[in-house]
Structure 1
């Protein structure tokens, strides 16, 4: 959005907070930012309001904005991008019914969400996962997406640029994009690396850093303090190309659960999922979730294809053990690569009919749905 000329009202890090206990210190700042956003939208007088994910902030914003236009005929159309994961929580579909009071249309990124939204009285369109767009853009072609991923990154260029040999093990570390999760996960990942050093003397690691000043500063400082005996490559504010080149050059990855898991699937890089939170947050997740898995590939394929180590099981011993297996066991690697093909086939298949028209990628499908919602207002 910044590339297209949008300017943010405030640093997004101010509201990028997940969890229960973790949220408490930020409540006042979030309340101030919410009030600021509502006032900015009111002054701007938009025809359409598009909120993206972050349902805790976005839904409060839409409710307050709706209240401002309660007695007016020129209320903007409210479109929310990314269906809240109602399917993951007990009683989630019951909460879905109430969204039609302040949301006019939802853009879904998972194939099964559109029908469930409509059954609960919500206008919705399946636009496709944004990673489908990544694959199309990186091919630099405006043609309908094929689940047979043609772009795999340029691993050889990455190795040459950083003076690495093709046969030397390289592991990608993805500790997250929010400071609170990075401070929790990065030390664990670094302990994992230290445990692997004896088995892989030539081991190197690469850390693509999210475009977040606080995260970048913390990671640089942490790496210096640890004084790791392995070659460590940091890629601050990594672009899409840089990330995929690093993934392509790597043998395996350890990843905090999130959208980065899907990026690894796009390249076909075997990985292990790791996640820790505050004890209160972990307890509430166990209490409320109705899913067996936390990562989207495992959820969609309904199979533990990607190893997940969560909460108390998320230890450096467990992570080091599975990473060693992913590096040495070709059958384990091939199983994950094959599942990635199945995953993108599952995401792409419902779009085939739409993409045969002028709307040939998720962003254009989304734009068309937004314009249609505005015309129908």
Structure 2
């Protein structure tokens, strides 16, 4: 850091989960620096809430699937070049990229290849080399300076290739506890009525593939439980698509936005149906018994299944090495199977109790009883930048 000026951190996030994590780390940096740190970069609404002016809309980077990304490649390549030029122009003290490896790693590699004075390149959230393509660990060690990981078993995959790696804990353990009664009162949901949280994902492709089968499942569940209510937390980029899809559902559906509403919903919900991803771990940590589901383009799925060696898809099951959360993926993601998995979670069954027991175990395993992960990350960023 140059004498006489405040620290400038260039932060890159490419999807809503990275935006949420980036906002937490930014808050930690502001606190740890006494409010003197400055930011530039790319992020969404939560990072802009911490003072970031995004270089371009983050949702341009939120694309999922091996084939789905193909039409967007020219624009993504252009954005990579623009980001490299902007980093060279503003000369930050450090670059902190968060998840979105397809974009972030190309930016980092280009910066290193251009040579000259390059700020320290730190990446938060490791690529899942333990699930597929393990040789990526050796490759990223060539252009990253430090890796911050969020799962306890990850460091050895990278340190063996000489990449400095720090385990910070999982950011989901920092999620605030919400207010069950307030959420239900605010949205006219009776306190004793069963409430299903539906989380169809944060990308347009996820929402379009999952909401039809989720809607059919909700209709069948409501036929058995006429007092069922449904709530869907939405990010701005898919809110309109969600509103259009749920308009025809035969139940009262509350669509919410914002971190506060989401926390209150997790406190108020009796069970959840969610796209397999970070949301499933968040739900389990919040004590909400859940069912995970996912569908992608059939060709993308076929390719991925040949590459991925894991037995489970969701983090709770991967960490516990057993299926606590039912996973219904691709061909198994049908209304019949989703209904059969959800039904036992509405009463005090062994399935519901097993998920509730897993919540406390995972909270401790992921750093919930130590220094908050975002503060660990912020302290490490300041240490490296200094």
Shorter-chain TM-score bucket reads: 0.7 to 0.9
1:222 paired to 2:263: no
Whether the aligned pair in 1 keeps the contact of 2:111 and 2:118 (CA below 8 Å) is: no
Which residue in the other structure is 1:368 paired with? 379
1:69-89 superposed Cα distances (whole Å, 9 cap, x missing partner): x1x2x3210000111110011
Of residues 87, 111, 126, the one that matches 2:152 is: 111
Show the counterpart of 2:24: none
- 1:203 maps to which of 223, 228, 250: 228
Contact 2:129-2:157 within 8 A present in 1 as well: no
Match of 2:216 among 176, 185, 191: 191
Who is 2:340 aligned against?
Answer: 321
- Which structure 1 residue ranges, 5 or more long, are not aligned? 139-150
Aligned counterpart in structure 2 of residue 27 of structure 1, from 61, 70, 73: 73
1:234 aligns with 2:255: yes
| Cα distance in 2, alignment partners of residues 177 and 99 from structure 1 | 27
Match of 1:182 among 180, 202, 207: 207
| Alignment correspondent of 1:267 | 286
Moved more, 339-348 or 80-89: 339-348
Higher deviation after alignment, 75-84 or 112-121: 112-121
Native 8 Å contact 1:109 1:130 kept in 2: yes
The aligned counterpart of 1:340 is: 359
**The one of 149, 156, 163 aligned to 1:122:** 163
> Does the 8 A contact of 2:130 with 2:157 survive in 1?
no
Number of the residue aligned with 2:57: 11
Q: What TM-score does the superposition give when structure 2 sets the normalisation length? A: 0.85
Give 3-state SS (helix, strand or coil) of 1:51's partner.
strand
User: Can you give the 5+ residue segments of structure 2 that lack an aligned partner in the other structure?
Assistant: 1-46
Cross-structure match for 2:330? 311
Contact 2:266 2:288 in 1 (8 A): yes
Conservation of the 8 A alpha-carbon contact between 1:48 and 1:77: yes
For 1:293, the equivalent position in structure 2 comes to 312
Q: Could you tell me whether the CA contact under 8 Å between 1:47 and 1:75 is conserved in 2?
A: no
Q: Residue 127 of structure 1 contacts residue 366 of structure 1 at CA under 8 Å; is this kept in 2?
A: yes
Determine the C-alpha separation between the residues in 2 that align with 1:306 and 1:348. Answer: 21
Runs of 4+ in 1 over 2 A off after TM superposition: 328-331, 371-375
| Alignment correspondent of 1:246 | 265
Deviation at 1:192, TM superposition (A): 0.6
Aligned residues: 340
How far apart in 2 are the matches of 1:95 and 1:174?
31
Distance in 2 between the 1:264 and 1:124 partners? 28
Using the size of structure 1 for normalisation, the TM-score is: 0.87
- 2: CA distance, partners of 1:261 / 1:178: 15
1:26-64 deviation per Cα after TM superposition (whole angstroms, max 9, x unaligned): 111111211111111111112211111000111101111
Question: Which residue does the alignment assign to 2:119?
Answer: 76
Q: Secondary structure at the match of 2:366?
A: helix
Q: CA deviation at 1:329?
A: 4.3
State the secondary structure of the residue aligned to 1:294. coil
For 1:197 and 1:223, locate their aligned partners in 2 and report how far apart those are by CA, in whole Å. 14
Matched-pair contact (CA < 8 Å) for 2:367–2:373: no
Give per-residue Cα distances to partners, 1:204-241, cap 9 Å, x unaligned. 110011232xx0111112223x2x22111111x222x2
Which whole-Å CA distance do the structure 2 matches of 1:197 and 1:191 have between them? 10
